[in-house]
Amino acid sequence: MAQPASHQHHGIDYVEFTVTDVAKAKAFYSAAFGWEFNDYGPGYAGIRGVDREVGGLAQGTDVTRGGPLVVLFSRDLDATLAQVRAAGGGISKAPFTFPGGRRFHFTDPSGNELAVWAER
């Protein structure tokens, strides 16, 4: 784990997703975004960041959409869209423009909804 100096006071430090199948979620996020994980048993996997864990996948039975929206950044939105589709993600909002760029929304295999944006 990183030294405490890598944590920002009052900053978002860790995002935990409830998933219905940890192994399936790991396979999806690895294929779609190249994420790597620290395994802590069958019910939890930490999401590796550059210098520390930045989130986790927690085994649960119910996933409810509609909470805070996690938005990821991409340098190539169309390539990321193709990767999400190829990995088995569902597209819940097709790419659209907004002031500052473009984005799309997707669901993972457990039903969590996230978004990806790019500057163009």
The Cα 90–Cα 86 span in angstroms is 10
Kindly report the CATH number that applies to the domain delimited by 12-62+69-118.
Answer: 3.10.180.10
Asked if 112 and 64 count as a contact pair (C-beta separation under 8 A), the reply is no
34-48: per-residue pLDDT in tens?
999 999 999 999 999
Where along the chain do its domains lie? Answer: 12-62+69-118
pTM, whole model, 2 decimals? 0.88
45-84: per-residue pLDDT in tens?
999 999 899 999 999 998 988 888 999 999 999 999 999 9
Backbone angles phi, psi at 119, to 5 degrees: -70, -20
Q: Which DSSP string corresponds to 69-107? A: PEEEE-S-HHHHHHHHHHTT-EEEEEEEEETTEEEEEEE
